[in-house]
Amino acid sequence: MTYVIGVDVGGTFTDAVLDDGSGTVVAAKAPSTPPDYSQGVIDVLEVLAAQLGRPVSEMLANTHHIAHGTTSSLNALVMGNVPPVGFLTTKGHRDSIYIMNVEGRYLGRSPEQLQNVLSQSKSHGLVPKKHALEVTERLDRDGNIVVALDEDSARASIKSLVDDGVSGIAVSLLWSFRNPVHENRIRELVHEYDPTMFVSLSSEVSPRIREFARNATTIMSTQIGPGLRDYLGSLESKLRALDLAGPLLVMQSNGGAVAAAEAPKNAISTVGSVLTGGVVGAVSLGKQLGHKNIIATDVGGTTFLVGLVVDGEPVRASSTIINHHPINVPTLEVHAIGSGGGAIAWVDGGGNLQIGPHSAQAVPGPACYGNGGTEPTNADANLVLGILPERGLLGGRKPLDKKLAREAIRRRIAEPLGLSIEDAAAAIYAVQNAQTGDLLRKTVVEAGHDPRGFVLYAFGGAGPAHCAGYAAEVGVKEVIVPLGQVASAFSAYGLASSNIVLAAELSDPAAMPLDPARAESNFDGLEKRVREALARQGLSFAEIEVEREIDMRYTMQLAEVATTIPEGTLDSASIAHASDLFEQRYADLYGKDSGFREAGIQAITYRVRATGVLPFSPTLPELDRAESSDASVALIGSRQVCLDGRIGYVDTDIYDYSKLAAGHVITGPAIVEVPTTTVVVPHGTTGTVDRLGNLNIVAK
């Protein structure tokens, strides 16, 4: 028996899904264990093994690979919890990371923040100025050496940084993406002085034009690289001690995995790893259900995440923003807000109820966990409203205390707003649905899509409790709650479904039409790099798929659009076709007739993405078919539940998911209890169990 395991390390829970390649899929959930998240990984693997009825060492000895996703790198960057690093750049260009171009005033800011000009600042320096040093060297725009590297001055800067205790050094020289010779030599000089020092080169991490974004990307990758290296090294050692046979893989922002030994070299590629797992899972499940347009939503303990699948493919982006800095990393486009099950409810200075972005996290957790938490959260409100069972989560393994939940809501929300505890809990539930609905609207409608043409997938521990509410906010008519064997561990299912995906890119700006030979040469070099990287992963692939694209723009514009370049030898006709594809994509994004070909078109950055398709990925098993649609066989009782503060508490049927079969239909209002989550079927909707065990919620 050969297993594939996906492990999703969240801020509150660690989830895992195991597939044996022959129709058996098992899911497990365990509390996360900050600051040593590796212990939570071991804990959830032990729960998986117990469900299989095998020792964990026997399970791991038969494991083909583990695909791991974690928020630790992203959280470290967002919160600034990173070690000191050094930055070396070309003489005269150090201050670009402090000037931040004009972008430093608007990137990552809401429209409301942009309007408040007096509050804007650029006080987001990535490193202190004493750790940002210059070296004498210069290349021209074509990569020719104008001023040779002054190795003595470079050695002096390196010595200053290492002696000052930095944990890594980021090297980003002007025009190095055209010729990395000086960056490569500086790495050699660093390792001459300190062979153990972590070094990141912009020519490897972010070989794109525009020095501010390239500098920021390289610095941030250096900030998280040493920690990621140490964490993955420790985790892999623990797993090997438990007889893990296959490799440990790490999920990347681009929707594919990479070997743990390779991940720290380009650590920035892992910052969205756990965010993309659910989108990858949605693509996999969508293939089984025949859905091509999907809104993937994940309400975990800390965050609410939204990603899109359009025509069967996840929507991608070539960059992202962290703390007002542009980050050059290909990624699946996932939007997030701090509005998970553990998001804290609070009253602002104007007497308005707010939810998040701060979270009670795994420790101390919501007040109802009884671990010392005193702040009211979404989970506390759901318990007071009767949505969550008083016996607790995880089938009763995680007890909940309703008295503690009521006290937290009374003290922090009800009394300041002059509400009853019940009305305050209903208000928390309503605000949660409204603000998650707002993010859906931003993600779907503002991208030019009609949400009525999409199916919404809802997962995560708290997603099924809220999905019908936030889907209604944007007019989505059909909601799928992935249950079956994966339930709230759906992101881990996505990790287990992932393949190896590697990307290489290179900026080589030129006006269209391009010289076909020049473009072909760029793509050939990039493809060679990704194929060599695939060979280092230590895995055999069923096949290798290669995609090519160029980031293009209208002359003098800043907005670049990734344009697919079809397979085959490039010639004048295919180059002209690429321009047509760019203009069509531009019109899709920004509106018909918004382009201006007369301005000219420029090709900026070439990219090759290679997918190493693994031998098998999870396929959800089918359920037995019910004899009729009557679901009363799964009815286990009723309780008072409030799903709408205007209606109040209503006697609501409670169903045991384990007793449902394909074809059973549940009429709302109802609650479906699953060991790892709770599903709300509101009044005016029905929930039908499909052949894979998912619950399909639609309006009557």
Residue 111 confidence (pLDDT) above 80: no
**Number of compact structural domains in the chain:** 4
Is 504 in the same domain as 595?
Answer: yes
> In this structure, is residue 335 part of a structural domain?
no
pLDDT beyond 70 at 142: yes
Confidence band, pLDDT 50/70/90 cuts, at residue 395: low
Exposure string over 670-699, b if 16+ CB within 10 A, otherwise e:
bbbbbbbbbbbbbeebbbbbbbbbbbbbee
Tokens read off for 324:
């007002």
Q: What is the pLDDT of residue 124?
A: 67
> Has residue 404 been placed in a domain?
no
Average pLDDT across the chain, whole number:
90
Report the predicted TM-score, pTM, of the whole model to 2 decimal places: 0.83
Residue 45 in domain? yes
Q: How does DSSP classify residue 361?
A: T
Per-residue pLDDT tens digits for 526-568: 999 999 999 998 888 999 999 999 999 999 887 899 999 988 8
> Which residue range forms the structural domain that includes residue 36?
3-76+229-274
CA distance 345 to 428: 7
Both 167 and 193 in one domain: the answer is yes
* CATH code (residue 551): 3.30.1490
pLDDT for the residue 123: 66
670 — phi, psi (to 5°)? -155, 160
Residue 322 domain-assigned? no
**In which band, very low, low, confident or very high, does the pLDDT at 399 lie, cut at 50, 70 and 90?**
confident
For residue 604, pLDDT over 80 is answered with: yes
If we measure between CA atoms, which residue out of 24, 23, 73, 26 comes closest to residue 45?
26
Each residue's pLDDT tens digit, 215-228: 999 999 999 999 99
Tell me: do 667 and 592 sit in the same domain: no
Tokens of 372: 């010392």
The type of residue at 644 is: D
* Whether 130 and 213 share a structural domain: yes
Q: What is the pLDDT of residue 394?
A: 64
Residues 108 and 242 in one domain: no
Residue 387: DSSP 8-state: S
Residue 8 placed within a domain: yes
204 and 69 part of one domain: no
Phi and psi at 318, nearest 5°, equal -95, -5
Return the higher-pLDDT residue of 535 and 488.
535
Structure confidence at residue 566 (pLDDT): 86
Residue 383 lies in a domain: no
- Average pLDDT over every residue of 152-162: 96
What is the percent of the chain where pLDDT is above 70?
97
Looking at the fold, whether 56 and 166 belong to one and the same domain comes out as no
Question: Is residue 113 located within the same domain as residue 8?
Answer: no
pLDDT score, position 341 = 84
- Do 179 and 86 belong together in one domain? yes
In a domain, 283, yes or no: no
Residue 134 and residue 212 in one domain: yes
In tens, the pLDDT along 635-659 reads 999 999 998 888 999 999 999 999 9
590 falls in which pLDDT band (50, 70, 90)? confident
Q: Which range is least confidently modeled, 243-257, 323-337, 447-461, 683-697?
A: 323-337
Whole-number Å distance between alpha carbons of 397 and 371: 14
Is residue 108 pLDDT above 90, yes or no?
A: no
CATH number of residue 62's parent domain: 3.30.420
Q: 448 lies in a domain?
A: no
* Segment (H or E) for 202: helix 202-205
Per-residue pLDDT, 1: 61
Residues 34 and 89 in one domain: no
Give the three-state DSSP class for 655: strand
Based on the fold, state whether residues 264 and 138 are members of the same structural domain: no
Kindly report, residue by residue over 492-535, the tens digit of the pLDDT.
888 998 999 999 999 999 999 999 999 999 999 999 999 999 99
